[in-house]
Structure 1
Amino acid sequence: MPAGSPADAVGQCFTCWWMRSTTTRRGSTFFRCARAETDARFVRYPTLPVRNCPGYEVAMLFVVLMHYTQPLDAVNAVRAEHLRHLEACAARGLIHAWARREPPTGGLFIATAPDRAALEAVVAEDPYVRAGVATPEIVEVPPQNVRGALRT
C-alpha cells in the first residue's frame, strides 16, 4: 500500500481478524480490538499504529456462492431460518452482505474469517446446507486484492 494509506495509520489492526471499527455520531472513527473482550492481555483501543501484536490474525475475505439443488418451494421452506442464520453471523462480524441471485438459482454472501476451515464450519451450519437444498462454493479473495469498505 502507498505511504499515507489507512494501513500506515493503523498498522496490523487494518488487516486483523479481531479489529472492529467504530464510528461516533460526530463521524470520528476508532479501532477496537475485539479480542480484548475475552482476553485481558489485549487493549480494547490500542495506540495506533500497531506494528507488532501477538494476537494478530489476518482476516481472509471470501465470497460464498450458494447453488440451489432443490426446487424453489423446498428452498423457500427453509429461507426464514437461513436468513436468521445470516443475521446471526452478521452480528458476529462474519458475514457482511448477502443476496439471492436473479433468477433465483442460488445466492451469495461475502464473509471474513481467519481461514477457510473456520468459514467452512460456519457454512456447514447454514440451514440451506443442512437441509440439502443448496450446495456452497467458497471462493477466497486474496487480501492484497481487497479495497474500500470490504477491507477489514
Structure 2
Amino acid sequence: MLHYTAPAEEVNLVLPDHSNWINRHYQSGDFIIEGRRSPRPGSVIIACDMARGRLDAILATDPLVREHLVRPEVITFEALRTVPELARYADRLAGG
C-alpha cells in the first residue's frame, strides 16, 4: 500500500513517472494488480511472491517514494484461494 504523505497536487506532478514505473514492473512480471484507494489516500499494488529485500528494492525506485510523496507499507499474506485466472499466483490452494 502506498500512503500519500504530500498534497494531491504534488503527487499528481509525479504520477506520469510513477505510471511508467508501474508499467515496467507489470512487463517484468513483478506486479499483478494496482489501483487507487477510495477515497484517495493512496494506492494498492499487489506484487508476485518474491523475497522481501527484492520488493523493498523495487519500491525504493518508485518516483513517488524517491520524492518522499508516499510511504510504502508492505502487507505479506499467503494466497490460499483465488479465482482460476489467478491460480498461478496462489502460494497454496486450501483443501476443502
Q: Which TM bucket (shorter chain)?
A: 0.7 to 0.9
Aligned residue runs from structure 1 range 1-152, under 5 A: 65-143=1-79, 145-148=80-83, 149=86, 151-152=88-89
Name the structure where helix makes up a greater proportion of residues: 2
Unaligned 5+ runs, structure 1: 1-64
Q: Which amino acid aligns with 1:147?
A: T
Q: Which amino acid aligns with 1:111?
A: A
CA separation in 1, counterparts of 2:9 and 2:30?
28
CA RMSD, aligned part only?
Answer: 1.3
TM-score by length of 2: 0.83
CA separation in 2, counterparts of 1:150 and 1:73?
38
Q: Which amino acid aligns with 1:70?
A: A
Identity %: 30
Q: 1:139 to 1:150 in 2, by over 3 A?
A: farther
Larger Rg: 1
Residue 120 (structure 1) shift:
0.6
Q: Which amino acid aligns with 1:142?
A: E
Deviations 1:126-148 (A, max 9, x none): 111001000000011125x2423
* Structure 2 match to 1:57: none
Name the structure where strand makes up a greater proportion of residues: 1
Q: Which amino acid aligns with 2:37?
A: R
Deviations 1:89-135 (A, max 9, x none): 00000011111112211001110142111111000101110010000
CA separation in 1, counterparts of 2:34 and 2:58?
15
- Comparing both chains, which one has the higher relative contact order based on Cα–Cα distances under 8 Å and sequence gaps of 6 or more? 2
Unaligned 5+ runs, structure 2: 90-96
TM-score by length of 1: 0.54
Residue 81 (structure 1) shift:
0.4
